[in-house]
Amino acid sequence: MTTSIGFIFFIGAIGLGAIGIAGIVLANHLFRLVLALAIAEAGANLLLILAGYRWDAVAPIVSDPAVVQTMVDPVPQAMVLTAIVIGVGVQALALTLVIRIRQRYGTLDMQEARQRMQDDLDAAAGITPSRSRERPAGGRPLPAPAAAVEAGVQHD
Amino acid sequence: MRSLATLLFLGGLIFLLTVLTGNLPFGNPPMLVGDAIQKGAADEVGAANFVTAVVLAYRGLDTLGELSILFAAATAGGLVLGAAHGGSHQRPAGFILRAGADLLFPLLLVVGLYIVMHGHLTPGGGFQGGVVLAAAFFLPLLARPGETLSHPWLSLVEGLAGTAFIVVGLIALFQGHGFLAPMFDKGTLGELVSSGSLPVLYLAVGLKVGSELASLLSRLASDDEVAS
């Protein structure tokens, strides 16, 4: 009985991490990407805390020096404290980059932002736009470029 | 194709972690280091909160690394966003929000300092209290969008706090102990003035985290106003 309850807790933590990683890879919106990162971190932290849990134990703080109590493992808790702080730093840095991208390209959609960034790079380097799925190389019987771009976008 | 590969990887990861944790004895973990710390920390460090003993005494160097990561993140954020832009076209907040911010500012300051100073006795400490301090200084900015925080002062506090952390570690080193080893009189377990240098270290951590987060938040807020 006790094992199955622990297994449920672990499944919850693993599920949080899996949702976060799936969000990081599948999300197409930059802010959702940052949120998915936060969820994945929460899952990893929960997993660490669960690994140090003890039945019928108190938090690792001495309230009365005369009484000896069972306590949970303080080492994973200290690790999670570190992980949370580093997570905050990573999220803040990610958010600054997201704000910058929105200021520069006016969008938070990853593919649009990437396309505009590529256009910028091409214009700065003075070369013809590189090939992409939205803009295949010429020479084939394709409709006008503008229509091709639109068709490509709608296809995706 | 790319998402298919990712889902395969994700399934494998879930399977691996499930099997690993399924074999873990939940509720009675094998505590080798944890038991040793619980037996010895009260005498060796003198902190009633063993998590604080681990964070500042047994793994003090890791905490210094953690602080430098936070510092690097805050510096990179400032670099990406540039200097804070003064002057806002947003109209000021209403009376209730402004009065509430004025009322909450001293309370948040007291609560933040309390959490920082009791880090070796209760759940809490420099990181948690530092975030509350940052919230205290960021709250008036939300109520009055036009104002900005004084970044030179925040940088000064941040630099002095970081220096204090390293200096405490170096004093321990020159006294013949390890870097950041606990020093001074340990006092009685559970008293406010106890466990030697740990409260000093946590005060430095709290000030550093608070000033870093406050400057980062104010930069984010002022830049977001420009963007929108």
pLDDT in tens, A37-46: 999 999 999 9
pLDDT mean over A91-101: 89
Residue B187 within a domain: yes
Q: Are A96 and B77 in contact (CB under 8 A)?
A: yes
Residue B31 lies in a domain: no
Considering chain A, what is the average pLDDT of its residues? 80
CB B33 within 8 A of CB A75: yes
pTM of the model: 0.79
Overall number of domains in chain B: 1
Residue B12 lies in a domain: no
Residues 41-60 on A with a CB inside 8 Å of B are 47, 50-55, 59-60
Q: Is residue B2 part of a domain?
A: no
Chain A residues with CB-CB distance to B49 below 8 A: 60-62
Binary contact (B31, A73; C-beta < 8 A): yes
Q: Residue-wise pLDDT tens for chain B (228 aa)? A: 777 888 898 899 999 988 888 877 777 777 778 778 877 777 777 777 888 888 888 888 888 888 899 889 888 888 888 765 555 566 777 888 888 888 999 999 999 999 998 888 888 888 899 999 999 988 888 887 777 777 788 888 888 988 888 888 888 888 877 777 777 767 677 677 777 788 888 889 999 999 988 888 888 877 665 555
- Domains in chain A with CATH codes: 2-55+71-129 (1.10.287.3510)
A26 class by beta-carbon count within 10 Å (0-12 exposed, 13-18 middle, 19+ buried): middle
ipTM of the complex: 0.81
Across A103-111, average pLDDT: 85
Per-residue model confidence (pLDDT) at position A156: 45
The answer as to whether B7 is a domain residue is no
The answer to whether residue B60 sits within a structural domain is yes
Tell whether B26 is covered by a domain: no
pLDDT at A155 over 50: no
Structural domain that includes position B64: 47-83+90-227
Are the C-beta atoms of residues B7 and A22 closer than 8 Å to each other? yes
pLDDT at A146: 57
Residues 117-146 in A contacting B (C-alpha not used; CB under 8 Å): none
B15 is a domain residue: no
pLDDT of residue A136: 59
The total of other beta-carbon atoms located within 10 Å of residue B43's CB is 9
As a whole number, mean pLDDT of residues A21-29 equals 88
